[in-house]
Copies of this chain bind each other. A is one copy, B any other.
Amino acid sequence: MNAEIISIGSEHLLGEIIDTDTPYLAKRLTEIGIEVEREITVGDDEKDIASSLEEALRRVKMVITIGGLGPTPDDITKKVIAKAVEEQLILNEEILSEIEGKFKEERKPMPSDNIKQAFLPRDSHPLKNRVGIAPGFILETRNRIIIALPGPYNELVPMFEEETLPYLKERFKVREVIKSLILRTTGLLESKVAEKLKDIMKRSKNPQVFLLAHENIVDIRLIAKAGDEKIAEKLNTGIEKRISKRLGNYIFGTSKQTLEEVVGYLLYMRKKTIAVAESCTGGLISHRLTNVPGSSNYFLGSVVAYNNRIKRDRLGVKKTTLEKYGAVSERVALEMAKGIKKIARSDFGLGITGIAGPTGATEEKPIGLVYIALAHKNKIEVKEFKFRGARGVIKAKAANTALNMVRRHLLK
């Protein structure tokens, strides 16, 4: 079973609204094995709605429209659907009395315009609107299924969950199920991941394998289709094992797991604590670590040392080191990591210094140059990085890389 979603409303084409209806429906349909092949947004224009509807009906078995069910003259979805499939709109008495009831409840007279909302295509199955006024419907005709839903998210969701989904589940035996699995990696460029998985990505049709990269994290998404959930999951697991073998520890988690959650989990399991000395990341690493509930178990605190005097006074970075090597240097990162570890009496001390830009660069020290040091017991490792991007991107890449250094150390 394949479907298209048509979102109707000129306001969408102005870009003032973020459409959450369509992703919601796409996700729910995918989960019951209905494959969304295309999503279309058109304005409140009869010709545009009609052409997109007719094209969609030629391509797929199920078309879902969103919006255009209100009482005003620009709400013409029902009219266009009726015309496209050559059906009449007829008054549904039950729906009419329900609409009248809603106005009575609010002790308001029903405007005559609202009568229009009680007209539905002949032989359609009405979908009640628990939250608002506009009813939707399911129309089965000419071997096609058309579902019309209202635009407001808080009306659409209950109408879909409570009225539409049960109908679809009963009407069609849910056979095909789609299961997705995300493997999250960091430490490799997207093109490097692609290179390592080239043959798998090319050959594996079920699950299909996609990559999505952002700020030094590359997500590998597996999407499997099968007759039931277990088989779909098994298909994913099969490919997951092969990918895991190749990428090993570059994979840090699955699905929506974040690096900070994984680092937090590892610290918690190993009963270790951490403290952070941040310069160019400016508090981002601490912010991310403390986004995890329960982080107070292992995160002791941090010093954001933007100012050199704070690096000296608060972290014990030597004045001579600052003078000789400059604030952005391997040596300063090293002393920051050692300093915060000592001060916080933590097991791990993480030190980050760098140039986030747009100013502050010199000839030898370009924007994006970052040093990250990790102190543990009497050992310390320090690495140099060169990140590309705007200020925010460099901060994010440095934070991801620093968290990954902690993770890799904890995995040893």
Q: Is A44 an interface residue (CB 8 A)?
A: yes
Contact B30 A14 (CB under 8 A): yes
Residues of B within 8 A of A301 (CB): 303-307, 310, 314
Residues of B within 8 A of A106 (CB): 386-388
Residues of B within 8 A of A360 (CB): 296
Contact A282 B289 (CB under 8 A): yes
Residues of B within 8 A of A180 (CB): 14, 16
Contact A293 B359 (CB under 8 A): yes
Q: Is A234 an interface residue (CB 8 A)?
A: no
Contact A286 B304 (CB under 8 A): yes
Contact A102 B388 (CB under 8 A): yes
Bound-state Cα–Cα, A288 to B37, Å: 40
Encode contact with B along A26-43: 1 for CB under 8 Å, 0 otherwise.
111110000111111111
Contact A302 B304 (CB under 8 A): yes
Q: Is A145 an interface residue (CB 8 A)?
A: no
Bound-state Cα–Cα, A288 to B221, Å: 31
Known: A16-B23, A55-B55. A111 touches B192 (CB 8 A): yes
Bound-state Cα–Cα, A195 to B344, Å: 49
Contact A73 B202 (CB under 8 A): yes
Partner of A210, one of B11, B286, B302: B11
The 10 closest A-B pairs by CB, nearest first: A282-B290, A283-B286, A15-B27, A15-B26, A283-B283, A39-B41, A283-B287, A111-B191, A15-B23, A301-B310
A-B contact pairs, 15 of them (CB 8 A): A14-B30, A15-B22, A15-B26, A15-B27, A15-B29, A37-B43, A40-B40, A70-B211, A70-B213, A72-B201, A111-B192, A293-B359, A296-B360, A301-B305, A307-B344
